[in-house]
Amino acid sequence: MTTDLSKYDANQLPGADVLGRQRYAIVVADWNSEITYAMAQGAIDTFIKHGVPEENIDVMHVPGTVELTYGAARIMREEHVDAVVVIGCVIQGETPHFDYVCQSVTQGVAMLNTQGKVPVIFSVLTVLNKQQALDRCGGKLGNKGIEGAYTAIRMANL
């Protein structure tokens, strides 16, 4: 069963009075930008929709998905943010490169989360083909960037 990733219960989020004081960061991979930029825009729009001022949303671009971990770590070290959303897209090809990239970013984000400084939200698509990615960046399965922003808000306000 597949579900629309963009559907969530907004009643589980704090009000704009809280969110208006918080800062969020999005680290987005430029590789597969047709996909990742749509996801990043979904995250930005969701933050703003719930009361986070646009100037309280930092966006950092990195070349690819492997670099997301470094970007998130740098933001956590240099900026005061309440949560970080990492956005990437890895499409399986004919070589094991897919496996290495997926493993690297998954372990990197898990490591950052164990530090406990701020939540790092994994909004990385790991898909078999481009159509699966398109379905998850604003297509029939919603937008994983929206889900990432929702999750970031929930985690920042535990």
Is the distance from CB of 153 to CB of 73 less than 8 angstroms? Answer: no
| Catalytic residue of the set 50, 61, 80, 97 | 97
How far, in Å, are 18, 22, 110, 131 from residue 156 at the CA level?
Answer: 11, 9, 16, 32
Q: What is the pLDDT of residues 1-46, one digit of tens each?
A: 556 757 888 888 998 899 999 999 999 999 999 999 999 999 999 9
| Residue 1 in domain | no
Q: How far is CA 86 from CA 21, 60, 112, in A?
A: 21, 10, 11
Name the residue range of residue 57's domain: 19-156
What pLDDT is attached to residue 109?
A: 97
pTM of the predicted model, to two decimals?
0.94
Whether 97 is catalytic: yes
Q: What is the CATH number of the domain that holds 142?
A: 3.40.50.960
| Structural domains in the chain (count) | 1
Q: Residue 44 has which token pair?
A: 């930005």
Closest to 8 in 3D by CA, of 156, 145, 158, 157: 145
pLDDT tens-digit readout, 80-122: 999 999 999 999 988 888 889 999 999 999 999 999 899 999 9
Residue 25 lies in a domain: yes
Angular region, 126: left φ>0, alpha ψ -120 to 50, beta rest = beta
For residue 87, is it within any domain? yes
Cβ atoms of 93 and 99 closer than 8 Å: no
